[in-house]
Amino acid sequence: MDDLKNKIKSLKEEAFSDLNRVDQLSQLKELDRLRIKYMGRKGAIQSIMKGLKSVDPKDRPLIGRLVNSFKSEFGAKYEEKREELRQRAEQERLGKEWIDVTLPGVRQRSGKIHIIQQTLDEISSIFKGLGFSVADGPEIESDYYNFDALNIPKDHPARDMWDTFYIDDQTDRTVLRTHTSPVQIRTMERRQPPVRIIVPGRVYRNEAIDASHHAVFYQVEGLYVDNNVTFRDLKGVLSYFSRQMFGDNLLVRFRPSFFPFTEPSAEVDISCVMCSGKGCAVCKYTGWVEILGCGMVDPAVYRYVNYDPEIYSGYAFGLGVERIAMLRYQINDIRLFLDNDVRFLEQF
């Protein structure tokens, strides 16, 4: 056993001597070679462990402790030497780098609020000033809220007015909302009149994309239900909104139209902001541009939310945010809003 103890002692002295000689950055590979030499699967320590079979069983615990002590001390010394070389390498790298701290910094480009969000914020601000609150709802909707509860049953021809993305093709029960009107139904289910809300949000239509149409765009719906609400109230609110957005000298007109959830219904036109009503390609030389649809809430809608149409009346309206932004800032292509071209976005 004494021979084995002396062998371990001699091996320990040799190993530490080898480690101490590694003091250059170029010797990192040599450091790893020494680890394998002494601690590897075919290294010196493993060789000693195999020789334990010939040692008296009562002496094996002592030899085992000596071996474990050697492994522990060698491992600590190895890590210490490796960290020493790493720090030395880092110091040499920093010594070679040179930074002139007197040079001016590089100015970072700051982000801006997207033009669509700016327009949404401005629209919301106008209606908030009139007492409307903001409501929100899911973009993935049930067929019931998107159509049925808005007086558009499955066999209604008005469904052709919306090019719908159906998520469940088998049952047609789940859709990407085609307008933000479903939030009006959800709100009326939870609240009794008076209800005065706007619903800004993203909607989806299965349409061919061109300069004036997109499959993804933003709308703002509005709803006001209370006692004795009239079409005159609706005209006053929308005329005020239009002039706040486009200027006090703007002309506004209401044309009869049809929507399945309002009766009577109307479309709102404004004098063309591109040509001041004189006639141009944008207004198709009529002097007028349509900006939104509106009307008095159809009494048929109230039965879905348990409102009494003999007591309550109300109006609703909906506008496309991109259309407002295009007219406001004289943009001729709706695709620019989603192209993420920084040169375009920085103009606003």
User: Quick check: 5 and 55 in contact, CB under 8 A?
Assistant: no
Strand partners, 297: 262
Radius of gyration of the chain, Cα coordinates, nearest whole angstrom: 39
Interatomic CA distance for residues 168 and 190, integer angstroms: 27
Interatomic CA distance for residues 193 and 196, integer angstroms: 8
Of the listed ranges 124-138, 156-170, 331-345, the one predicted with least confidence: 156-170
Please tell me the predicted confidence (pLDDT) of residue 86: 80
* Closest C-alpha among 20, 254, 236, 278 to residue 130: 236
Please tell me the predicted confidence (pLDDT) of residue 194: 94
User: Mean per-residue pLDDT for 303-322?
Assistant: 93
148, burial (CB in 10 Å: exposed 0-12, middle 13-18, buried 19+)? middle
User: Mean per-residue pLDDT for 78-84?
Assistant: 79
- Does the pLDDT at position 24 exceed 70? no
Domains in the chain: ranges and CATH: 2-96 (no CATH), 115-345 (3.30.930.10)
Percent of the chain with pLDDT over 90: 39
pLDDT-derived band at 330, boundaries 50, 70, 90: confident
Q: What is the DSSP letter of 103?
A: S
Cβ atoms within 10 Å, residue 322: 24
188-244 pLDDT, tens digit each = 999 999 999 999 999 998 888 888 788 899 999 999 999 999 999 999 999 999 999
pLDDT-derived band at 121, boundaries 50, 70, 90: very high
Please tell me the predicted confidence (pLDDT) of residue 174: 87
Within the chain, strands assigned E span 133-134, 140-142, 165-166, 174-176, 195-204, 216-226, 252-259, 262-271, 288-297, 313-320
Look at the pTM and tell me if it is higher than 0.75. Answer: no
1-19 pLDDT, tens digit each = 566 666 777 777 777 777 7
28-37 pLDDT, tens digit each = 677 777 777 7
* Closest C-alpha among 342, 344, 348 to residue 109: 342
User: Mean per-residue pLDDT for 330-335?
Assistant: 85
Contacts of 291 (CB under 8 A, 6+ apart): 242, 268, 269, 270, 319, 323, 324, 327
pLDDT-derived band at 316, boundaries 50, 70, 90: very high
Average pLDDT, the chain: 84
